[in-house]
Structure 1
Amino acid sequence: MKSLPTIDIASTDFLVDLRRMELREVANPANKITFYDLRDNGDHLVLLYDTETRNAYRGPGRDLTETGKIKIIRLPPLDQLDSFTYTLLQSRQDSRLNQLQRAARLFESSPESCPAQRKKTK
């Protein structure tokens, strides 16, 4: 079985797990950053990263500038984070690939276009 690739985020190593849609801290596997915390900017992904919690920033406002503890991290797109798994999911037409792509776009979407925000109609 292929080992998961790692990525350095502000001097902390994370495993890239496309199948589980998360980045998992190598030293503390309970610390996970979901792909829903990433923003797709076309040629790269953006993460607002809290260096104290070593996780995605969870405070108010998503359009922040960097502060002492908040860093704006630029990550490669999904197909470059783990090209092997991305290609595997793509070749199998795995629904997780669509979920990954949608997850990274949620911050760019209006509430009406996000399935979780839509009102159900009968």
Structure 2
Amino acid sequence: MLMQMIDCLIEQDPSLSARRTIDMRRYIVNRWNRTHEESIDEDGVALFLCDESRGNLTDEQRIFAKECREEITACYRNVVFQMFQCGEMMRRHLVSGPEEYCRIFLPQYAVPCSKQLSPCNGL
């Protein structure tokens, strides 16, 4: 239920919805082109994202695009949830700010106190 509400929020914000669609297109094109010899039509992907009945994608490409679209949708959903959570925790003074929130809840992405990432960070 909460995630459906977050999806509605994203869809109702024109900027966020457009940004998500652009990111979906980039992700689909990049991922397809990395794993296939023949590249996917970027305009066809854009049309498909607006209306599944449009675009000149093959059946394999349509299935692939749907899977990638769901991955990006889930990412945006989680990010918006984390932003709400961080904001609410700051409002209640449970964390001092985004840095502390990230250190506690997203330790794999936290920046060390020196504000520099080590060359192997994230490996």
TMscore range, shorter length: under 0.3
Structure exhibiting the larger radius of gyration computed from Cα positions? 2
The structure that is strand-richer by fraction is 1
- TM-score w.r.t. the length of structure 1 is 0.26
* Higher RCO (Cα < 8 Å, 6 or more apart): 1
The structure that is helix-richer by fraction is 2
- TM-score w.r.t. the length of structure 2 is 0.25
